[in-house]
Structure 1
């Protein structure tokens, strides 16, 4: 029996929360990479992954900051990806936001140590220097179909608020049927108030998040380029799909261009995760989309991105769930009821 083809999807920030405490120990106990990564963090004066993951209780103040959350998510995701690679024919790798850095390591554009160095460096820089914040808001209905005109209404509102004096607001991430909006406090507060007044849908402020993927991150991008040399990246061994939907082909990608995208455009401009998933579907037509852990919050966004293009006739949440029951196309390794399907 031939192995199924799959696109691997690496998650971003906000996926290691209270339910995920202990994930690294439960799913990858005694993996040699963990000891190596712990030693890297000790040398940086940071708490080890083993200690963070093994804490007696979850602390948002400790576990969700960029310097800690990014490294925990990287470790869980990369080691999950290695398991999925051993059981599937991986045709491409992509990710959401932080997940792009993880995808670099999964796809062979960086080794496991270099990937952790990138994630740990950028996560720490975001924590120390990242301004502003993010808000999440859907523009689809309960059946994951677009509410007519809602996305454009929100985009117009973002532009209107951004034009106000002392207000900064822009689109951070296209996330399936949701928009992640980023800006300074004035911009975010005005957006929250305006949206709440006009709709029953309440915007969600994301804790310990900065204005990722906007021009407000120019300083962080520059600090990242100063800290991380070009030599960290190689041409990928598996196709990579970035936050524009662009495919970086194995053994045929310009590493200078890959570095420039990763540490400039990817940090300071909108990340279109929706387009990445749709590009994966159209260019590689996989049997499955496999989302690595930790957590299982990215599944809805992936499904919504596929629904938007009616992938294989799936045009609603109802149709997606029916397909999942008969022949699953989306596997979330962070879900206990689905993890075994990826192994």
Structure 2
């Protein structure tokens, strides 16, 4: 049996190629029906209808009130599909919105409570849609750490954020990428201050608000008013949050967990890189398993492991060499890799 840390993806991972993901992979039809009933009662389009649509719509499928629930369901379905006889999950973590999914996978929220949290927060984010996000790399295409480049970029961010009328801050420390959050003035100023790289950066993220920044304080406040601390219980698995802190089974203050989830996690930087580094060092798993939907988070996980110098890796080539010899990163969004950790669902 292999040990594994499971990593739950966040927004932006249910894309055109993922259309139909729940239909293909979500095994618990009754639970999906319950999710659909919850959304139907709120006047929202059901997950079955969204996932089963004839075509993918950026305008519809990337909206916070739709994307968050789709991603949560896909993640939870994948987590439940893991082969318990071959894989022993030793901890869970996630990226950004993936923290809500990790809470359910880790047992601190029931499947239904997790859906309530993610659907509520996704809807509140969409209703407010305060600010935006963009992404920009600080490592080159070889994924070699460049601390000086990162420091320079963060100094640029701080300088722009200090200007009158400009809001700009680090939203997510995402492997070799910086995800920035800000208002339009702040985001435009950064785009003007840095050179285009790799043919696509700096890249705005469609339908994304200024997640993990002080601009989300009103959303956090509304979330706390709607979501009771009683939804949260003791986790069954260790959970690594966006600070790299570990919430342990039997030793978690559930009110503090509610407070973090609907407070710091919403309004402060999410350090995914640190979460993965802590997962590697504290739990030393055989595998890192990224649930679906999508496959885009794998690069950030690999980059985070390289930045942590995990098992002597310092570059993309180091990672690829190890991965080819004996895979350490499994993406359940890839059919061939999925088959190695499931019972053939």
Shorter chain as denominator, the TM-score bin is over 0.9
- Alignment check: 8 A CA contact 1:130 1:217 kept: no
Q: Distance in 2 between matches of 1:262 and 1:30?
A: 27
Equivalent of 1:64, from 58, 62, 65? 62
Residue by residue, what CA displacement relative to the aligned partner does 1:241-272 show, whole Å, maximum 9, x if unpaired?
00000000011100011111000000000000
Provide the residue aligned with 1:181 in structure 2. Answer: 180
- Alignment check: 8 A CA contact 1:195 1:202 kept: no
Q: Distance in 1 between matches of 2:54 and 2:197?
A: 42
Provide the residue aligned with 1:26 in structure 2. Answer: 24
Q: How does 1:218-297 map to 2 (within 5 A)?
A: 218-297=217-296
SS of match in other structure, 1:341? coil
Q: Distance in 1 between matches of 2:316 and 2:29?
A: 37
Q: How does 1:1-343 map to 2 (within 5 A)?
A: 3-28=1-26, 31-84=29-82, 86=84, 87-147=86-146, 149-196=148-195, 202-343=201-342
Bigger Cα displacement from structure 2, 310-319 vs 88-97: 310-319
Give RMSD over aligned pairs.
1.4
Where in structure 1 are there 5+ consecutive unaligned residues?
Answer: none
1:69 to 1:306, Cα distance in 2 relative to 1, 3 A: same
1:78 to 1:198, Cα distance in 2 relative to 1, 3 A: closer
Q: Distance in 2 between matches of 1:64 and 1:130?
A: 13
Give the TM-score taking structure 1 as reference length.
Answer: 0.97
Q: Distance in 1 between matches of 2:75 and 2:206?
A: 21
Instruction: Give the CA deviation at 1:288.
Output: 0.4
Where in structure 2 are there 5+ consecutive unaligned residues?
Answer: none
SS of match in other structure, 1:342? coil
Q: Distance in 1 between matches of 2:56 and 2:197?
A: 36
Instruction: Give the CA deviation at 1:148.
Output: 5.2
SS of match in other structure, 1:93? strand
Instruction: Give the CA deviation at 1:146.
Output: 2.1
Give the TM-score taking structure 2 as reference length.
Answer: 0.96
Q: How many pairs were matched up?
A: 341
SS of match in other structure, 1:196? coil
Q: Distance in 1 between matches of 2:107 and 2:2?
A: 21
